[in-house]
A and B are shown apart, each in its own frame.
Chain A
């Protein structure tokens, strides 16, 4: 089965290191989440994978062959990004036709169905649409092209709650019908926390978490109790953040707890959800742990 291997990618814009030593693997038929704050390097990484810009170092490979300037690899991926790559003057239907021309085929049935559900007129000009509808056009194309790797960079930008809901439903529907790999980059984690099977968190150009969603949540803890007890219990662990309310402290830990330590009576142990984990991990605290 086809997979994409990204090894030691770095990217400099001038003296600014936007990406540093990023390595990750995209397996077939998996929904991935790429989470990072604005400016963390998400779009840069996706632009490199999709060949829109060149890395300063490192390799992008599909099945052990460089994917850079490789038509076969490029024809097997689609990147939907914030930047509009289509001509403003063009009608939606023509954009679809052109996509079909380039990719060799196009799921017109799905595209028409989605256009109807999103209330998108196919004879409208791309340039005349709102930001939200620009996203919708690109999402529809992304779901209708015959590729095994679809990258969505901020897919729900400008979409209202109803359209977001619709998108997630249709994404899961088409994923069931034709399994393929999706990589969804966003800073709105909560909405897709249960959709993604595997998570990459990126902070200041580095991958800080690469793991299965389930094991990441299983490995993150909120330890609540009296300040002193909590500090004693979490000493030496990978504490990524604190909350102090009077004498009551919550410490957030990412990684294994120390099984040899007895959990004090006065301390409450809970798991942390992805969103909270993300906030604390990307707030500057904490060490890097592979999940």
Chain B
């Protein structure tokens, strides 16, 4: 596992994001234990309270769960949950920004749809 931190976003959010990414990519499999706060804290020089805050964010999102006396585990179905959440935020994160940028550049709705189709074609060709 490799964390890349920038120093301007709140660290606990970055911890949560990086862990989510690791779960989504399968680095931490469902029903498996994730590293403890101490381990993450020691390895990346982050205050354990900050790490815990990030983890609690994931607990709230039902991606991980605490098993008493053992540690934090990836919940069964976590990958599906992440996918679900990402789909929900896809519209606000990508589509809205895409439309705003297109309008700034004076691209029409038609042109934008054309561009999206081209993107799909290129992707299909490159694979």
Contact = CB atoms under 8 A, between A and B. Distances in A.
Contact, chains A and B (beta carbon distance below 8 A): yes
Candidate in A175, A191, A218 with the most chain B CB atoms within 10 angstroms: A175
A217 interface: yes
16 contacts: A31-B47, A172-B45, A173-B42, A175-B48, A176-B37, A176-B38, A176-B48, A194-B44, A194-B47, A195-B45, A195-B46, A214-B10, A214-B11, A214-B50, A217-B7, A274-B7
A272 interface: yes
Contact of A217 (B8, B37, B45): B8
Contacts of B88: none
Q: How large is the interface on A (under 10, 10 to 19, 20 to 34, 35 or more residues)?
A: 20 to 34
Interface in B2-57: 5, 7-12, 37-38, 41-50
B35 to A, nearest CB: 13
Interface in A147-172: 168-169, 172
A244 interface: no
Contacts of B48: 172, 175-176
Nearest to A176: B38
A197 interface: yes
A192 B7 contact: no
Contacts, number: 54
A190 B37 CA distance: 21
A196 interface: yes
Nearest to B7: A273
B38 A173 contact: yes
Q: Which 3 A-B pairs have the closest CB atoms?
A: A273-B7, A271-B8, A194-B46
A197 B49 contact: yes
